[in-house]
Each structure stands twice: as structure tokens, then as C-alpha cells.
Structure 1
Amino acid sequence: MIGTFVNVGTVVAGSLIGLLLHARLSERVTKIAFQAIGLFTLMLGLQMALQVQNVLVMIFALIIGSVSGELLDVEAGFNKAGDQVKRIFKSSHDRFTEGIVTAFLLFCMGSLTILGAIQEGTGHAPTLLLTKSIMDGFASIALSSTLGIGVLFSAIPLLVYQGGLTLFAGLLENVLDEAFIQEVVACGGILLMGLGFNLLEIKRIKVANMLPSLLVVVLLLVLTGFFQGA
């Protein structure tokens, strides 16, 4: 998991730089940098979402996954976990939990996360994850200068999630194909678009509650392939 370890390192380094710069940057500068991240996130999400080939699978995955996430209140679980970390480290930053959740979603919902984890998990050089590491490093500078130290702690769930995907991809090396990956990436793109709206403060969307959609789209694709092959 070399790519994931490097990625975690750049997020930590970028977050520390952002925290150091925070005191030297005016509110106008941090705000415009935050908006730039929001626009980029929206564009990246749209680009990913347009890769969808099976629209019906996407719609059902989003609806079933979002309703399930809302009933389970995944976002509340994220917030509780963030608040617990905040208490452990006795942070007084009022946007600590928001920083963890926002950074985690941004760093983990992109196509490079999924494709990069599959690339390294199947025994190839971690080229995509190393590229992602550079991007996340710069993004963490902008995020931490606005949202504070919580962004730094997003490196922990990033390690667990991206590392887990890498190991999982290694186990399913003979099962994964390009069409399958493309649909999962497209679903992740929809979630990234929701995060972009949040960052730009256009509309508050519970993106965390939509995360089960990624699992549902995988299950639907497996079922679809099974019935087509029957």
C-alpha cells in the first residue's frame, strides 16, 4: 500500500502547511481558495458521473443507498466519531468535525481513489495514487487553512478506506472489469457533485448519508451480471 501511505503523508504535510498559513491569510483569500476547491470538486464529479452506462442501475443505487443511509443516519455517525476525536485531542476549533468529514469525502470519493486502489491492489505501480497524493496535498492546504485541524485527522479514515479498497481489489483481481469499475466511479461522481454544492454553499446535501449507494451499485451490478448470464 505504498500509494496510500504516500497519500496519507501528503495530506498530513498539506494540512500542517495550511494551519501555518491560516494566521497569515486574510478571510477573503481563504474564502476564494475554498470556492476554487468547490468548483473543482463539482467539475470532477460531473466528469465522473458522465461515465455512467447503466442509468437505471445508477438511479436505483442512489435512491436505495440514500434512503438506507438516511435511515441509518450515517452522517450522524460520522459527526459523532469526529466529535469523539475532537474531545480526545481537546480541540476547541468549532469546525473540527466538519473538517474531518469534508476532507474525507473529498479525498475518498474521487475516481483516482477507486482506480488507484484497484491499480495498486492488482499488483501494478501506484501511479494514480501518487498523482492523487499531489492533488490531495494541495487541497489539504486550502481546506485546513479554512476548516482547521480537523482536515489533518481525515488522514486516519483515508488510510483505512483507501487501504481497505487496495487490499479488497487484490482479492477480486479476477472479477473486476472496466465496465464494472466505470459504474462505481460514476456513482462516486454523483456524490462528489453533492459535496461540491456543499463547499460552494449552494445547497446543503447530506452526502455522507448517500455513501451506501456505492455498496448498492456494486450489489446491483453483480445481480445484473448474474441474471444476464443466466
Structure 2
Amino acid sequence: MLTGVFINGITIVVGSLLGALLRNISEEMKETVTKGIGLGVVVLGIQMAIPTQSFTLIMISLSIGALIGEALKIETFMNRFGLFLQKRFSKTESTFAEGFVTASLIFVIGSLGIIGAIQSGATGDHETLYTKSVMDGFMAIMLTASFGYGVLFSSIPVFLYQGSIAVLANVLVQLIPANFMDELMNEISAIGGLMILGIGLNLLQVTKLRVSNFLPGIIVLIILLSLKLIL
């Protein structure tokens, strides 16, 4: 059930270690590579967000989620956790926390991770997570070259997040109607796309959005869609 999740985590670790070998490239090259990733992430976010059938619901969920995230200070917590890891494992890297947070958000948020984890848990099909693993491994190389070893530790939330979804899917798959599952996955992909878009804009240094604080919006969306089904 967790084979795909393990592979995904391992490819991030391997990609990070390979990326560490490129740390000596010029700052100009790192900046160009990082912004190139940012452009790709922006396009990915737009592609994910466009197919939504309930844009109003997405906006309501995102807004309520932002209120919850700001109240809980999720972004602050993630940065503090990243700084703790920096002090523990890499005292000389000022970009450690930034790399951890950025990579965690890029690897965690997205339809591939959610759908792939559900497929793994519900059917034992790991093909989607294998595809995501290839993408994440390459992304980890580039991000580590720019931000350092903080990217490596993003494999921890990836494993916990996708592993939890896989286990939950294994339990709930027979309790949720197929048509509702399809709608749910489409809208989760859309709200995740907006967050991915924010990450891309941050990488391009266009904005400084606290994207982590939008994460509760996914839970709000699930609740609202469930209420819509019941009513």
C-alpha cells in the first residue's frame, strides 16, 4: 500500500544528494534555474486550477482556509521547524528553512500526490506516484542546488502526508460514492493549483505569499463539498 509513497520519498532524498554536488555553480546559474522552476510551477498551477466546476466554492474555501491558517500561524510553524533542522543539521546554511518550506509545499500540494496516494491505498496501483517520483527527483536536484540541504528533509512531510492519504483511502474507499470522489478530486486539484501558482510566483520573487497558511482551505473544501452532497 505504501510502496509508491516510499519510492517518492527516496527519489527526493537521492535528488537532493545529487543536487548538493551542484552547489558550487554560479549564483547567476542558480537564479536562472530557480526562476525556470518557478515558471514551470506557475504553468502547472494554472493548468490544475482551470478545470474547476465550482470556482465560487474554491474561493470561499481558500478565504476561510487563509483565516484559519493565519490564526494557527502554519507558515511560522513550518519556518521554525525548518530553522530547528537548520541548527541541528546545517548551521552554516541560511537558506535551509526556505528550501525546506518551498520544497515541502511543491512536493506536497498537487493532484498527482493526492490522486496517486488514493490509488495506492485504494487499489494498490502505484503508477501515478512513480511518475510523480521522477518529477520530484529532478525538482529536488534543482532546488537543492539553489537552497541547500533543507530540500532533503522535505521528504518527511511528503511521506507523512501521502502515507496518511493512502491509509485513509484504503479505509474509506468503499464508503464514498464514485461520482462524489471524482468531483472531490477535481476540486482539490483546483484549489491546490492556486496554491501551486502562489509558490511559483514566490519562486519568481513576484510575491511573498504565505502559501502554507492556505492549506486549511483543502479541508474546508472537503467539508463544503460534503455538505453540498448531503443537502
Into which bin does the TM-score normalised by the smaller protein fall? over 0.9
Give, as a single letter, the amino acid of the residue that structure 1 aligns with 2:117. A
Spell out, residue by residue over 1:39-93, the C-alpha distance to the aligned partner (whole angstroms, 9 max, x if none).
1111111111012111221111011001111111110111111112222225320
Separation in 2 of the partners of 1:124 and 1:187? 26
The residue number in structure 2 matching 1:62 is 62
1:203 aligned counterpart, secondary structure = coil
Asked if 1:21 corresponds to 2:25, the answer is no
Asked if 1:81 corresponds to 2:85, the answer is no
The residue number in structure 1 matching 2:44 is 44
Q: Which runs of 5+ in 1 are unaligned?
A: none
Spell out, residue by residue over 1:15-53, the C-alpha distance to the aligned partner (whole angstroms, 9 max, x if none).
011111112x22222111111110111111111101211
What is the aligned-residue RMSD (CA, Å)?
1.1
The residue number in structure 1 matching 2:206 is 202
Asked if 1:7 corresponds to 2:14, the answer is no
Separation in 2 of the partners of 1:91 and 1:203? 28
Q: Which runs of 5+ in 2 are unaligned?
A: none
Asked if 1:109 corresponds to 2:113, the answer is no
Separation in 2 of the partners of 1:138 and 1:127? 17
1:92-131 alignment, distance < 5 Å: 92-131=92-131
Spell out, residue by residue over 1:177-198, the C-alpha distance to the aligned partner (whole angstroms, 9 max, x if none).
2111101111100100000100
- 2:143 touches 2:151 (CA, 8 Å); kept in 1? yes
1:124 to partner: Cα distance: 3.4
Q: Which of these residues, 201, 212, 216, is aligned with residue 212 of structure 1?
A: 216
2:18 aligned counterpart, secondary structure = helix
The residue number in structure 1 matching 2:162 is 162
Number of matched pairs = 226
Asked if 1:34 corresponds to 2:34, the answer is yes
2:22 aligned counterpart, secondary structure = helix
Normalised by the length of structure 2, the TM-score is 0.95
Separation in 1 of the partners of 2:63 and 2:137? 33
Normalised by the length of structure 1, the TM-score is 0.95
